[in-house]
A and B are shown apart, each in its own frame.
Chain A
Amino acid sequence: MNTTCIMCPMGCALTVEEKGGVVTVVGNGCPRGEKYGKAEFSHPERVVTTLLKGLYGGVVSVKTDGPIPKDKIADLLAWAASYRLDHAVKTGDVIAESPVSCGANVVATSDFKGK
């Protein structure tokens, strides 16, 4: 796998490979890049931000309150697209607990009046 280390502005180009259960990272300028490369290879995670629609119109911005596995992102976005929020929320309120078993809660990042 080829990727770019984002831990510092150097942006080293990393090549991560697995041979017989051992993961190796090449191209990293420092140890942080090795750690990053291995994590990206075996369990890449992202915080997801998106928008939910209100049942009666309007939109509210949301985020996951922690990083979720990358392969759950598509499921979560599909969940978000079909979800309709039917009540008012304030910034920081939990809207759904670990939807699609993504392992993080979806919380509001703006206030929503219910419509």
Chain B
Amino acid sequence: MKKFDVVIIGGGPAGMAAALGAREEGATVALLERDDRLGGILNQCIHNGFGLHYFGEELTGPEYAKRFRDKVLSDQNIHVFLEAMVLSLTEQKVVRAISPTEGLIEIQAGSVVLAMGCRERSAGAIALAGTRPAGIYTAGMAQRLCNVEGYLVGKEVVILGSGDIGLIMARRMTSEGAKVKLVAEIMPFSSGLKRNIVQCLNDYDIPLRYSTTVTRVTGKERLTGVYVAPVDEKMQPVLEQEEYIPCDTLLLSVGLIPENDLLTGTSVEMSRVTSGAVVDEYRQTSAEGIFSAGNVLHVHDLVDNVSEEAYIAGRSAAKYVKGELPFSVTVSVTPASGVRYALPQKVHTGEGKVKLYFRVDKVYRGRTVVVTSAGEVIKRKKTLVMAPGEMQNIEIDKSLIKGDVCIYTEE
């Protein structure tokens, strides 16, 4: 069996940043990626807008990935396994993977960083009614086919969901000569960035209808059209107002789910809200020595945050192996009024600062974010506007933490 201090599962932006973080603490690192190259989702995101926070300049996805990849590949002490699909992980931190070149790979890890990213919700996951013809794709799948393989998946397109991936794909399909007839969003607001609505839809006169959903699809072999209808306050479609739109392609951009199947059978505590592990500020899960970062921990909208988070996880994983990870009393961090979830869900008492990341449950203007510990207010921050699609953060002083932490918003 091979031995490494830190084993990282997944070679996307999270895995690469974790590897660099672990190296900074002198650990030997194994990085396992099932694809034939590092970069994860970034390789298919050929649009720009990445890295504004992390590098202070606007990069495309492949360029952002390359910055990290070049560093990872030039470090002798990071052993990169490509086309290595991790099959199992035990609580004793034995990682098993298979690859076409090396066969079965077995590694005893000192600590493990989970960086497997997320997958998209599919037609099955949202219980779409009607036939199952060809022409229904998740937006990310269409993005991969289009941007990596070079195939245009259709000519007349309807997109369900106005998250960023859906918006980006609306523009992408249009530039490739397809006609995007409608973007339908079930919510009364978009979870996508304003900038994407302006530059991906408005620039190309692509209509966006809020509080609208796809009710059924038609077509035998290939999709021939979809029915859309407005929804009422209870999110139920108003079928009397159903409208038929002929199209050959339906793209689904209806949410992402962290890809945590490897954890089934372990004792790692999971959060029902994020579908990721419950972690402390070092991004350590409830299973000692197992860390988690990036989209596998919670869905991120900015890759910059992914890199930052994974860097913490990688450094901490290396410190854990050296026995240098500080441990002290932990308190829980819980969301209340207006906050859907906050992460980390656990924080250690002690010195230094800790950044709490959180998402709100709807669009708020002019609200104050309040953090309390043991019932006392320890931080307040006025905000102009907060939307569910944009992850927020607030930094608190650990020395002020005297008991359980609560984060909420108020008028």
Contact = CB atoms under 8 A, between A and B. Distances in A.
Contacts of A58: 150
Contact of A47 (B48, B63, B175, B176): B48
B63 A91 contact: yes
A59 B176 CA distance: 13
A11 B146 CA distance: 31
Contacts of A77: 175
Contact of B385 (A4, A9, A49): A9
Contacts of B48: 47, 49, 63
Interface residues of B, number: 29
Interface in B10-51: 43, 46-48
A53 B63 contact: no
B202 A49 contact: no
Nearest to B172: A50
B349 interface: no
A22 interface: no
B58 interface: yes
B398 interface: no
Interface string B378-397: 00000011110010000000
Given A50-B46, A59-B150, A109 B197 contact: no
A3 interface: yes
Interface in B290-315: none
B203 A46 contact: yes
B177 A10 contact: no
A70 interface: yes
Interface in B368-411: 384-387, 390
A109 B48 CA distance: 10
Contacts of A109: 46, 60, 62-63
Question: Which of A3, A50, A81 counts the most chain B CB atoms within 10 A?
Answer: A50
A3 B197 CA distance: 10
B385 A61 contact: no
Contacts of A100: none
Interface string B303-334: 00000000000000000000000000000000
A53 B199 CA distance: 24
B198 interface: yes
Q: Which of B146, B198, B387 has the most CB of A within 10 A?
A: B198
Contacts of A61: 46, 60, 62, 147
A4 B58 CA distance: 21
A83 B387 CA distance: 41
B-side interface mostly: helix
Interface string A1-38: 00110101111000000000000000000000000000
Contacts of A10: 384-385
Contacts of B195: 6
Contacts of A53: 150
A49 B150 contact: no
Interface in A37-90: 46-47, 49-51, 53, 58-59, 61, 63, 70, 73, 77, 81
Given A9-B390, A10-B384, A81-B177, A63 B198 contact: no
27 contacts: A3-B198, A3-B202, A4-B198, A6-B198, A6-B199, A9-B385, A10-B385, A11-B194, A11-B385, A47-B58, A49-B47, A50-B175, A51-B46, A51-B146, A51-B147, A59-B148, A59-B150, A61-B147, A63-B48, A70-B203, A73-B203, A77-B175, A91-B62, A91-B63, A109-B63, A110-B43, A110-B62
Interface of B: 43, 46-48, 58, 60, 62-63, 66, 146-150, 175-177, 194-195, 197-199, 202-203, 384-387, 390
Given A9-B386, A47-B58, A59-B149, 18 more contacts: A6-B194, A6-B199, A8-B384, A9-B194, A9-B390, A49-B48, A50-B46, A51-B46, A51-B146, A53-B150, A61-B46, A61-B60, A61-B62, A70-B203, A81-B176, A91-B62, A109-B63, A110-B46
